[in-house]
Amino acid sequence: MVEGSIVLDSVKKMLESGLDEGIIKATLQDIGLSEKEINSTIQQAKGSTAMMPSQQKTQDFHEAVAERTAEKVKNALAEEAGIQAIQQSATQSALEEHSEKLENVGFKVDELHEKINSLGNAMPSEALEKLSSLQSRIDLLTVDVKELKAGSNALVDLMKKILEANRNILSQLEGKRK
């Protein structure tokens, strides 16, 4: 008969290495243990499979890596949020500046229309063509500014979604860390 402590240690090692319980039972039967002894030994081995020091070190290492990674992600998110805020502010400022310029051009065109109307039909056709051309260019600029504003708004929405996705990733990493 084999000594009980050796059998128990062997079963613990088999369980820790991930061996199937059926294989362990068959091995114990081969050395002459009864079904009752086999079940008792396996239960004892399962109850005392406390974390080995090397496993604890590995777990501590993984926790430290997860902690450092989470800190780096937090810093990156904070930096990205700052960059996005600056970009958004710059875009908004440029849009406001273009809007003011367009308004000024519009006022000047309106003044020009008033002067033309006050002159009546005395204006040469060449001047009318140039005025018409100027009006069409202003209309094109208006369309361009609207497209620019729509693109800027889309960019801001996209940046917000990226920031939200990064926050979700950080939350998941912190959840796994705990």
My answer on whether 57 and 128 are in the same domain is: yes
My answer on whether 104 and 130 are in the same domain is: yes
My answer on whether 129 and 65 are in the same domain is: yes
Task: Please count the structural domains in the chain.
Answer: 2
My answer on whether 42 and 58 are in the same domain is: no
pTM value > 0.75: no
DSSP character for 50?
A: P
Q: How far is CA 153 from CA 26, 84, 147, in A?
A: 69, 13, 10
| Residue 44: pLDDT over 80 | yes
Please tell me the predicted confidence (pLDDT) of residue 161: 92
pLDDT more than 90, % of the chain: 9
The whole domain housing 105 covers: 53-177
